[in-house]
Amino acid sequence: MGHVSTTSTTTSLPVPTHAARLREALLAADFTADGLLDLLGAQAYAALARSEVVPALRATRGDAPLDTLVRLFLLQRAVAYERAAAALPMEEALADGWVVREDDAVLATVDVRPYGGPDGEDWFIVSDLGCAVGGAGGIGKKDEGVVLGVGGASTTLAGITVRTPVATALDLGTGSGIQALHAAQHATLVTATDLNPRALDFTRLTLALSGARGAELLQGSLFEPVDGDTYDLIVSNPPFVISPGAGLTYRDGGMGGDDLCRTLVQQAGDRLNDGGYAQFLANWQHVEGEEWQDRLRSWVPRGCDAWIVQREVQDITQYTELWLRDSGDHRGDQAEYRLAYGRWLDEFEARKTKGVGFGWITLRKNPAVASGAVEPSIVVEEWPHPVEQPLGDTVRAHFDRQDYLRAHDDAALLAGHFVLAPEVVQEQVGMPGAEDPEHVLLRQNRGMRRATRVDHVAAGFAGVCDGTLSAGQILDAIAQLTGEDPVVLRDRTPQAIRLLVEEGFLLPAGSR
Of the two residues 437 and 487, the one the predictor is more confident about is: 487
Mean pLDDT computed over every residue of the chain: 92
Segment 484-494 shows an average pLDDT of 96
Instruction: Note the pLDDT of residue 137.
Output: 41
* pLDDT of 2 above 70: no
* pLDDT of 234 above 90: yes
Measured in degrees and rounded to the nearest 5, phi and psi for residue 159 equal: -75, -30
Q: How many angstroms separate the CA atoms of 320 and 344, rounded?
A: 6
79 DSSP 8-state letter: E
* pLDDT of 35 above 70: yes
Where residue 141 falls among pLDDT bands split at 50, 70, 90? very low
Which is it for strands 187-194 and 216-219: parallel, antiparallel or unpaired? parallel
Check: CB of residue 264 under 8 Å from CB of residue 239.
Answer: no
Segment 179-196 shows an average pLDDT of 97
Burial category of 302 from C-beta neighbours within 10 Å (exposed 0-12, middle 13-18, buried 19 and up):
exposed
- Percent of the chain exceeding pLDDT 70 equals 93
Ranges 47-56, 226-235, 428-437, most confident: 226-235
- Percent of the chain exceeding pLDDT 90 equals 83
CA 407 from chain center: how many Å?
31
Where residue 132 falls among pLDDT bands split at 50, 70, 90? low
Give tens-digit pLDDT for 345-365: 999 999 999 999 999 999 999
Least Cα distance to 249 among 315, 197, 309 occurs for: 197
Give tens-digit pLDDT for 99-117: 999 999 999 999 999 999 9
Give tens-digit pLDDT for 43-83: 999 998 888 899 999 999 999 999 999 999 999 999 999 99
CA 249 from chain center: how many Å?
19
Instruction: Note the pLDDT of residue 247.
Output: 61
Instruction: Note the pLDDT of residue 239.
Output: 87
* pLDDT of 4 above 60: no
* pLDDT of 139 above 50: no
Instruction: Note the pLDDT of residue 191.
Output: 98
Least Cα distance to 187 among 232, 254, 128 occurs for: 232
Instruction: Note the pLDDT of residue 6.
Output: 36
Coil, strand or helix at 485:
coil
pTM: 0.93
Task: State the greatest distance between any 2 C-alpha atoms of the chain, in Å, as a whole number.
Answer: 90
Of how many residues is the chain composed? 512
Task: Name the β-bridge partners of 218.
Answer: 193
Cα 192 to Cα 79, 228, 252, 269, distances in angstroms: 35, 15, 19, 18
Helix axis angle, 152-160 relative to 392-407, nearest 10°? 40
Q: How many angstroms separate the CA atoms of 282 and 262, rounded?
A: 9
What dihedral do alpha carbons 300, 306, 312, 317 form, nearest 10°? 0
Check: CB of residue 227 under 8 Å from CB of residue 34.
Answer: no
